[in-house]
Amino acid sequence: MNTNRITLMPDALANQIAAGEVVERPVSVVKELVENALDAGATQITVWLEEAGIELIDVQDNGVGIVADDLPLAVERHATSKVKSYDDLACVASLGFRGEALASIASVSQFSLVSYHPTEPHAWLLQNQVDGRWSPLAPTAAPLGTRIKVASLFYNTPARRKFLKTPRAEFTQIEDYLKRTLLVNQHLGLRLIHNAKQVFDFVPAIEPAKYLTRLAALLGEAFVEQSLHISQSLPGVNLEGWVSLPTYHRGLADKQFVFVNGRIVRDRQLLQAVKLAYADVLYHGRHPVFVVFINVPFDQVDVNVHPAKYEVRFQHARQVYDHVRRAIRDAIMQPLVMGQEGATR
């Protein structure tokens, strides 16, 4: 009587375990859904939340949609339309590629997906049932695009639900994430509604002037007035963004944003490179404000380091960090040298 026999886990359990990695809290769900919408080419996204997403996260996009035949696959683990071979991994341009987000989220929530692809006669609805099985596809009415509702997050994994913070704290994380998304996706219109109240409604910022309005709304009028626009193309690195002048600084390092190839990253060394640019001009304990977009060829950066994908690994890390530090340093030193202050745009 051997009790140590090896068995395959039921799919539902495997998905719940994967969910432990991908779906830590409501903001992780929002992030996965919004990234899917962006990958689908959406230019308008609406997010409805109830109780900071703990009760409901509902994300609607006007992206390309999913054909009926693919709908059951979309919620299957390891099902993705974005990566087909190991080689593809070297040049991932999409935000997602693991094909596990929807399956994971669906395994720990009451989940429904409505999608209307232009080649279908109408929209289709797919939802999971309490027993974890999927209902058959049902025709429904909806605009072109996709809408996913995630209700009662972690209702079937009480240990995880218990670890959620207060709705206030969970909401702040979601709002922060969406604001970062707005910083980097200037062509995106994004509306957030929480407990039936509109929190914000950003229209697409197509012209540069509109982007400055968006920047002012997100980071403050003062930052826009006391910042420099940088734009530099160097071999292997393209740098662009807004960096505060030495006259504008904060007591907290809380308004510092770095994006690599359109992804939000939290790379300590990269942040450090920017901070070093200010080393000679800011007092100890004061922090610059910046929004920096770095673009490097897709095959020179590995974004595959972590499931939540906040870390990146550059092939020529030293070179990237040096470029970043030097470009910003040169930019902020310039007005000091010329004895002028204020934004140049």
Contacts with ligand ADP by CB under 6 A: the residue count is 22
Give the one entry of Mg ion, ligand ADP, none that residue 66 binds, where binding means its C-beta sits below a cut-off of 5 to 8 angstroms depending on kind.
ligand ADP
Site for ligand ADP in 27-66 (CB under 6 A): 32, 36-37, 40, 61, 63-66
Among 81, 172, 195, 238, interactor with ligand ADP by CB under 6 A: 81
Residues recorded for the chain: 345
Q: How far is CA 291 from CA 2, 163, 179, 184, 229, in A?
A: 60, 32, 12, 9, 10
Give the one entry of ligand ADP, Mg ion, none that residue 175 binds, where binding means its C-beta sits below a cut-off of 5 to 8 angstroms depending on kind.
none
Site for ligand ADP in 83-112 (CB under 6 A): 96-102
CB of 220 to ligand ADP, least distance (A): 32
Q: Which residue is nearest to ligand ADP (CB)?
A: 96
CB of 180 to Mg ion, least distance (A): 17
CB of 114 to ligand ADP, least distance (A): 10
Q: Given its phi and psi angles, is residue 334 left (phi above 0), alpha (psi -120 to 50 degrees) or beta?
A: alpha
Those residues whose C-beta lies under 8 Å from the C-beta of residue 160, and which sit 6 or more positions away, are: 20, 108, 154
Site of interaction with Mg ion (CB under 5 A): 36, 96, 101
- Closest CB to ligand ADP among residues 53, 96: 96
- Closest CB to ligand ADP among residues 146, 261: 146
CB of 42 to ligand ADP, least distance (A): 7
Torsion on CA atoms 203, 209, 212, 214, rounded to nearest 10: -10
- CA neighbours within 13 Å on the CB side: how many for 332? 28
Which of 297, 301, 295 has the alpha carbon at shortest distance from 323? 295
Give the one entry of Mg ion, ligand ADP, none that residue 82 binds, where binding means its C-beta sits below a cut-off of 5 to 8 angstroms depending on kind.
ligand ADP
Give the one entry of Mg ion, ligand ADP, none that residue 76 binds, where binding means its C-beta sits below a cut-off of 5 to 8 angstroms depending on kind.
none
What gap in Å lies between CA 304 and CA 294, rounded to an integer? Answer: 17
- Closest CB to ligand ADP among residues 25, 214: 25
Beta-bridge partners for 227: 244
> Does residue 149 touch ligand ADP according to CB under 6 A?
no
- Closest CB to ligand ADP among residues 69, 299: 69
B/e letters for 187-225, b = 16+ CB within 10 Å, e = fewer, are ebbbbbbbeeeeeeebebbeeeeebbebbeebbeeebbe
CB of 48 to ligand ADP, least distance (A): 15
- Closest CB to Mg ion among residues 96, 246: 96
Give the one entry of ligand ADP, Mg ion, none that residue 193 binds, where binding means its C-beta sits below a cut-off of 5 to 8 angstroms depending on kind.
none
What gap in Å lies between CA 148 and CA 112, rounded to an integer? Answer: 6
Q: Which two tokens stand for residue 88?
A: 């593809």
3-state helix, strand, coil in the chain (%, to 5): 35, 25, 40
- Closest CB to ligand ADP among residues 25, 329: 25
Give the one entry of ligand ADP, Mg ion, none that residue 81 binds, where binding means its C-beta sits below a cut-off of 5 to 8 angstroms depending on kind.
ligand ADP
CB of 33 to Mg ion, least distance (A): 8
CB of 35 to Mg ion, least distance (A): 6
SS (H, E, C) 201-230: EECCCCCHHHHHHHHHHHHCHHHHHCEEEE
Q: Which two tokens stand for residue 217?
A: 């709304």
Contact 332, 278 (CB under 8 A): yes
What gap in Å lies between CA 270 and CA 275, rounded to an integer? Answer: 9
List contacts with ligand ADP (CB under 6 A): 32, 36-37, 40, 61, 63-66, 74, 79-82, 96-102, 146
